């Protein structure tokens, strides 16, 4: 008997709120996923990524039973927040599928635009990214997928979203914001969530 799909938790990125997922939320709900999201507070880059990741711990602990596996989807900085949760805060034991969308796994040159804590952490070669990438093989314990586009003008270069583990899926979607709105991207997320169902 086929088991029901895991609940899906969506984690947004910098300078936005969870409403950025309105279209993706509706799409996944229509295709019978139970979808959750919450607002990181604050998401203005003044708080470090590791502190934001603790908010995922709090949300998961109060929302799901201890033995409930979840699937995690992180957009942009939310992908790094989610990675920190998975790799450093015990999420590896809760997450079955982990999808990042246009996340700066190797940094983005756009992070030099502002002198803020999370921006420092998202700069290429930052100590934060070096630390998180030194044991990225941990992600082999989950079904990890990175969705990225070479036409991303926030993650610069777009290929920074690629890593050496899991599945890397290049989408021909123009612009960072469209990676959670374009039909091609919505379907790519759903496909990744369907793996091994």
Q: Which residues of 119-151 are buried (b: 16+ CB within 10 A; e: fewer)?
A: bbbbbeebebbeebbeebeebeebbbbbbbbee
pTM, two decimals, is 0.97
Answer whether residue 197 shows pLDDT above 90: no
Answer whether residue 3 shows pLDDT above 80: no
Answer whether residue 195 shows pLDDT above 90: no
How far is residue 176 from each of residues 2, 116, 149, measured CA to CA in Å? Answer: 35, 21, 8
Q: From 2.40.10.220, 3.40.50.300, 3.40.50.1820, 3.50.40.10, which CATH number describes the 8-193 domain?
A: 3.40.50.1820
Residue 2: what pLDDT?
A: 66
Alpha carbon dihedral 175, 116, 84, 13, in 10-degree steps, equals: -30
For residue 54, what are its two tokens?
A: 């603790």
Answer whether residue 4 shows pLDDT above 90: no
Domain residue spans of the chain = 8-193
H or E element: which one contains 121?
A: helix 117-121
Determine how β-strand 143-148 pairs with β-strand 95-101.
parallel
Supply the DSSP symbol for 177.
G
Answer whether residue 86 shows pLDDT above 70: yes
For range 88-95, the mean pLDDT: 98
For range 180-195, the mean pLDDT: 96
Supply the DSSP symbol for 68.
-
Give the strands of the sheet with 167-170, arranged side by side.
35-37, 8-11, 70-75, 95-101, 143-148, 167-170
């Amino acid at each position: 008997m086929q088991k029901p799909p895991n609940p899906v938790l969506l984690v947004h990125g910098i300078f936005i709120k969870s409403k950025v997922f309105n279209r993706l939320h509706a799409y996944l709900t229509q295709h019978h996923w139970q979808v959750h999201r919450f607002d990181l507070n604050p998401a203005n880059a003044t708080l470090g990524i590791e502190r934001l990741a603790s908010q995922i711990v709090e949300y998961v602990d109060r929302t799901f039973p201890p033995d409930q596996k979840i699937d995690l989807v992180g957009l942009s900085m939310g992908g790094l927040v989610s990675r920190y949760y998975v790799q450093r805060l015990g999420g590896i034991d809760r997450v079955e599928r982990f999808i990042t969308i246009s996340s700066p796994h190797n940094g983005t040159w756009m992070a030099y635009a502002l002198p803020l804590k999370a921006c420092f952490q998202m700069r290429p070669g930052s100590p934060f990214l070096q630390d998180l990438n030194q044991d990225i093989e941990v992600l082999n314990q989950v079904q990890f997928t990175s969705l990225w586009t070479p036409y991303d003008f926030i993650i610069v270069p777009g290929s920074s979203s690629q890593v050496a583990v899991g599945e890397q899926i290049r989408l021909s979607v123009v612009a960072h914001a469209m990676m959670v709105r374009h039909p091609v991207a919505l379907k790519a997320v759903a496909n990744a969530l369907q793996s091994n169902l």
